[in-house]
Amino acid sequence: MTGDWTVGTVTAIAPQTPTSRSIDLEVPGWPGNLAGQHLDLRLTAPDGYTATRSYSIATAGAGTRVQLAVDRLPDGEVSPYLVDELIVGDQLEVRGPLGGWFVWRPPADDRSPAEPVQLIGGGSGIVPLMAMARAHAAVASTVPFRLLYSVRAPEDVFFAAELAELARSPHFDIDWVYTRTAPEGWSGSPGRVTRERLAEAVVPAALDPAVFVCGPTGFVETVADLLVELGHPAARVKTERFGGA
């Protein structure tokens, strides 16, 4: 299916933040996808004009259910429709799954030592990382997972309830960065991700973690450069970015 367009039907929609929503699709013939892969989505206007965008997939594994999470861009062509107008029962053209580099695969034998995993997301960059976290939980993996999630404010957290549940696992830890407004009782001060914050929160380079970073371009480039400064080999830091800084 990877190279062919097919039609998926919207089966569920749920708000995630004030400007975003998750969208569940039933896609007949979908072959399943790896955690971290994405798809292309195509909208066609009545006059025949088409717009195609790539979206990370929040789900992973076998089955024909595919979940996306879309944040509205003020000047976007596609995201305002998906966030503000799409309803259950609508159909969307999709193509995928796509990508084989920015992916996490559970180890074949989870009883053997495996590299720890560090996830770093900014805003809606959590989406492919959520697929990895879900895949980790689905197989009850004991691989150490750690997530650093940077958002503007508590109301901008995607999948908030599910992340709280995932954090109950002894093998999954979450560190938070609030860039504008922190929740009441938060011990830190709002601000961007810094070298010092990364040094405190991420799995040390000495443990050779697999690192996945996703978010806006400026965020990803800054974080990746800082990680290298902290001793993480560039080849171990996989990045996926979107939009402007």
CATH of the domain at 195: 3.40.50.80
Residues 85 and 123 in one domain: no
pLDDT at 245 > cutoff 80: no
Q: What would the two tokens of residue 187 be?
A: 């011990």
59, 137 contact by CB (below 8 A): no
Residue 106 lies in a domain: no
Enter the DSSP assignment of 61. B
Residue 43 lies in a domain: yes
E-state strands within the chain: 6-17, 20-26, 38-44, 50-56, 65-71, 91-98, 117-122, 145-151, 172-178, 210-216, 237-242
130, 60 contact by CB (below 8 A): no
Instruction: Give pLDDT, residue 154.
Output: 95
pLDDT per residue as tens digits for the range 73-119: 988 999 999 999 999 999 999 999 999 999 999 887 655 557 899 99
Residue numbers of the domain that contains 223: 117-242
Write down the pTM of the prediction: 0.94
Residue 67 lies in a domain: yes
Total domain count, the chain: 2
